[in-house]
Amino acid sequence: MGTSYSYCIYGASGHSKVIIEIIENLDGKIHALYDDDPLKTNLLNYSVTNDSSIFQLTSVQWMIGIGNNLIRKKIAEKHGLHFGLAIDNRSGISERAVIGQGTVAMPGVTVNSSTTIGAHCILNTNSSIDHDCILDNYVHISPNATLCGGISIGEGTHIGAGAVVIPGIKIGKWCTIGAGSVIINNIPDYSTVVGNPGKIIKQIKNQ
C-alpha cells in the first residue's frame, strides 16, 4: 500500500479507528467513512456519511470496519465493492504468505511462511500465525492468540484472545474459541469451545 491509494471505510466504530491509523501510518488517504447510522457524523476527525451514493465511487479501495464476522460477510457480499488491505507496518508478514482482500493485520501480528489468509479476516494485535496455516474468509484471530503450524480454520470462526491452537489442528466454520482456551483436538463446525484443554460446550447442527 502506498500514497496513491485512497480508502473508504464501511463502519464508524472502534475497529474502524484501528484501520484509520493503519492507513495513516502507511501514508494512505482516508477519503470517507460510511455508516448507516445517521447519528454518526465524525470519527477521529473524519466525516462520516450515510449517503449510499458513495458506493458508486470507482477510484477508492474499501475496508470494512466492523468486528462482527457475520455482518462483515453480509456487507462484503451485498455491495460488490473493490476492497483493499490494511497491513500495519509494525506487523511481520512473510513474503510467502498469501492474504485475501479486505483483511486487516494490526500491530505486532506475525504471519509465517506458506500461510494462506482468506478475505476480510481480522488479525488482531500481537496474534501469531505460524507456517502452513490456512484461514478461510471472515476469520477473526483475537489479540495474543497463537496458531501453531499447519492449522486449518473454517469460515467465520473467532479465535479468542490469548487462545493457543497446537500444530495440525482443524477447526470448522463459524466456531467460537473462548479466550485463553488451549485447543488440542479438531473442532467441528458451529462449535463453542472453552477451557484448557478446550471442551465443546455448545454445538449448533444442521446449519
Report which DSSP code applies to 187: B
Report which DSSP code applies to 53: G
- Distance between CA 183 and CA 41 in Å, rounded? 42
Active-site annotation holds for 82: no
Strand 42-43 with 46-49, pairing: antiparallel
Catalytic pick among 31, 79, 82, 131 = 131
**H/E run at residue 30:** strand 29-34
Please tell me whether the peptide bond between 197 and the residue prior to it is cis, using omega within 30 degrees of 0: yes
The C-alpha cell of 20 is what?
484509520
- Distance between CA 83 and CA 127 in Å, rounded? 23
Report which DSSP code applies to 155: T
- Residue 144's CB is within 10 A of a number of other CB atoms, namely 18
The CA–CA distances, whole Å, from 74 to 70, 78, 104, 183 equal 6, 6, 17, 29
Report, as residue numbers or ranges, the catalytic residues: 131
